[in-house]
């Protein structure tokens, strides 16, 4: 699992960001934690998973690029909206995949 350099974090997790990321890197499940990941399929853009799915290692696609973490599904949708807005401000379109990959390379 890799993490986006400029990871989007929901407001409710901002104070625990580093702790949550460290636990996820170690494969520890975080309850009430949703991961926004870049899709492996180049046609699609983002997917949202409950971190409880990390218990099913065979199911999870590898490697995951986590671009956002949130404490609820609704908060995850708000983060996806924020990513879309940032993408639109930069390119004038909603190609989230392009935005994430290009900004990841900038770091």
| Nearest 10 degrees: Cα torsion 96, 51, 74, 3 | -30
Give residue-wise pLDDT tens across range 56-92: 767 666 678 999 999 999 999 999 999 999 999 998 9
Q: Report percent pLDDT > 90 for the chain.
A: 55
pTM of the predicted structure, to 2 decimals = 0.87
**Contact by Cβ (8 Å): 80, 86:** no
CA 20, CA 64: separation in Å to the nearest integer?
Answer: 16
Residue 107: predicted pLDDT? 56
Q: 72 is written with which tokens?
A: 């609820």
DSSP annotation of 58 reads T
**Contact by Cβ (8 Å): 55, 48:** no
């Amino acid at each position: 699992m890799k993490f986006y350099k400029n990871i989007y974090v929901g407001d409710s997790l901002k104070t625990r960001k580093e702790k949550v990321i460290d636990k996820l890197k170690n494969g520890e499940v975080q309850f009430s934690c949703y991961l926004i990941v870049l899709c492996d399929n180049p046609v699609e853009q983002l997917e949202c998973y409950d971190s409880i799915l990390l218990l099913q290692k065979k199911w999870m696609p590898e490697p995951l690029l986590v671009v956002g973490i949130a404490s609820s599904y609704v908060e995850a949708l708000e983060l996806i909206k924020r990513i879309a807005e940032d993408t639109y401000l930069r390119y004038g379109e909603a190609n989230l995949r392009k935005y994430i990959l290009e900004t990841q390379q900038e770091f």
